[in-house]
């Protein structure tokens, strides 16, 4: 008898529910900086990726409104038909200059950017070597491209080297997150660049959580590591985290971007982002570059939180970034902790398998330049009263 696909999916959902892993949507009815209203309650959010506090900045809002008055809402077409507007071109030029690349190319989302890059670069006889903790879209991109996917233990340069040398004649792409989204630590980019140079492999960095936050002008983890476009020829970053907008881009040589325009299906066959959004994003880029105090304040808040968590003996993972994971191990413990914090007025999401490995459930606490020192202190006080927040 043929399998009923909908019934099979329903069974899978039921199994996730029984294991405490069911994902649920909660609607935010209002947002005011880091404060949100959800399910009738006003909560202070510590789970947003709005690291620089730009998502509701009046300069961005005004830029969006003004551009919408002129350009309307939707772009109406894919970039290659008639959807590519002057706002898109201006944003691409600014992103290329900011990251020190010849050119940049806009994509609708980071997921689509990574899928498009890998589908364009990789073939079935190639090998794609990746950190085990890479974002899901990097893993999916390699698999959909049909290349052999080889994953090395997190941050293990020697293991990455062994995987590359095992296929000496294959075309090779080594892809890594710049800042790992669930652990908050930074990839050993310098060592990976040396390895790729030695093995004649192409290095790609997904800097979704580094752009805007790391580097003297927010250029990201690659520049912060002292690396150039030659060291990291393929750079992807998103526009919906530190920049507070939406979308993504790939930056690199003119040759790379020309190739993506010809071959990246997720670029070719997708409607271009709204031009008004591109205008707002350009405003966000300018603010991120010029207002270094936002990064400085964020750094101060990170240091304050880590110092307080250390004094309390909380099981905080070693992260120097705005992503501060509190490792609780057990799924039920993570859910209980999240619910207890919500009762005290904080929104901190529990992260569970399969997003993280089994036994590694956690609270993924994220800090923003929109937080104040008093907010951090109140969160630490609430965490100190959680019975589940003990070393695992």
Q: Which residues are catalytic?
A: 181, 209, 241
Q: How far apart are CA 108 and CA 270, in angstroms?
A: 8
- Identify the CA nearest to 199 among candidates 226, 162, 229, 224: 162
């Amino acid at each position: 008898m043929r399998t009923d696909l909908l019934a099979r999916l329903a069974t899978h959902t039921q199994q996730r529910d029984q294991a405490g892993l069911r994902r649920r949507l909660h609607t935010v009815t209002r947002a005011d900086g880091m404060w949100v209203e959800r399910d009738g309650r006003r909560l202070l959010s510590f789970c947003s990726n709005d690291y620089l506090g730009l998502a509701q900045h009046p300069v961005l809002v005004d830029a969006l409104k003004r551009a919408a008055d002129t350009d309307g809402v939707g772009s109406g077409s894919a970039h290659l038909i008639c959807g590519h507007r002057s706002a898109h071109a201006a944003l691409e030029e600014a992103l290329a200059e900011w990251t020190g690349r010849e050119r940049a190319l806009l994509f609708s989302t980071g997921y689509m950017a990574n899928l498009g890059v890998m589908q364009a670069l990789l073939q079935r006889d190639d090998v794609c070597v990746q950190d085990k903790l890479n974002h899901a879209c990097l893993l999916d991109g390699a698999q959909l491209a049909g290349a052999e996917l080889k994953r090395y233990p997190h941050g293990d340069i020697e293991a990455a080297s062994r995987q590359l040398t095992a296929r000496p004649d294959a075309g090779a792409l080594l892809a890594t997150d710049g800042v790992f989204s669930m652990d908050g630590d930074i990839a050993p980019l310098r060592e990976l660049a040396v390895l790729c140079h030695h093995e004649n492999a192409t290095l790609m960095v997904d800097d979704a959580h580094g752009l805007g936050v790391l580097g003297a002008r927010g250029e990201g983890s690659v520049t912060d590591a002292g690396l150039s476009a030659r060291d990291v020829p393929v750079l992807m970053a998103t526009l919906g985290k530190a920049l507070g907008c939406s979308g993504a881009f790939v930056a690199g040589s003119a040759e790379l971007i020309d190739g993506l325009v010809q071959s990246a299906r997720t670029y070719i066959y997708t409607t271009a982002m709204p031009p008004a959004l591109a205008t707002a994003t350009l405003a966000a880029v300018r603010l991120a570059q010029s207002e270094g105090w936002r990064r400085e304040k964020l750094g101060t808040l990170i240091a304050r939180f880590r110092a307080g968590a250390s004094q309390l003996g909380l099981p905080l993972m070693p992260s120097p970034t705005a992503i501060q994971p509190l490792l609780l191990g057990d799924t039920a413990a993570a859910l209980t902790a999240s619910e207890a914090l919500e009762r005290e007025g904080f929104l901190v999401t529990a992260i569970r398998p399969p997003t993280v490995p089994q036994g590694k459930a956690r609270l993924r606490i994220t800090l923003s330049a929109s937080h104040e020192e008093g907010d951090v202190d109140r969160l630490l006080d609430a965490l100190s009263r959680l019975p589940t927040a003990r070393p695992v």
